[in-house]
Amino acid sequence: MSEPTTGLHIVGGGPQNDYLNQVTSTVTGLPVLAGPVEATAIGNVVVQAIRAGRFKSLAEARQHVAKNSSLKKFVPCPSPVWAKTAERYAAIEARYLN
C-alpha cells in the first residue's frame, strides 16, 4: 500500500507559470512547490559532479541543490466556483469512464 500524496513538486518549464501552479494546487487540494526551472540541466551537472568527486552521494548533492534553489510555494485556495467546476468535470468524466 502506498502512502498518500502530501504535495506536488513541479520542475522544468512549469514553474514559470504561476497561474498553472496555483490552479494545480487548488484543484488537487495539495500544496505545490515550483522550481527549479532548469531542473534537467541541474540534474546533468549533479551527475557529473558526483562522478568527479564533488559530492560523496546523491543525497549530499540533493541537499546542495535544495539549499541553493529558490522555490515558490502555492497552497490551495478553494472557492465555490472551483467546487462547482470540479462537480461539472466529474460529471463529464463519469460519462466516459463508466
Task: Say what the pLDDT of residue 2 is.
Answer: 85
Is residue 1's pLDDT more than 80? no
Q: How far is Cα 96 from Cα 89, in angstroms, rounded to an integer?
A: 11
pLDDT confidence of 7, banded at 50, 70, 90?
very high
Domains of the chain, each with CATH number or no CATH: 8-97 (3.30.420.40)
- Which residues fall within 8 angstroms of residue 26, CB to CB, at 6 or more apart? 76, 77, 78, 79, 82
Mean pLDDT of the chain: 93
Tell me the pLDDT tens digit for each residue of 60-88: 999 999 999 999 999 999 999 988 988 99
- pLDDT tens-place string over residues 27-70: 999 999 999 999 999 999 999 999 999 999 999 999 999 999 99
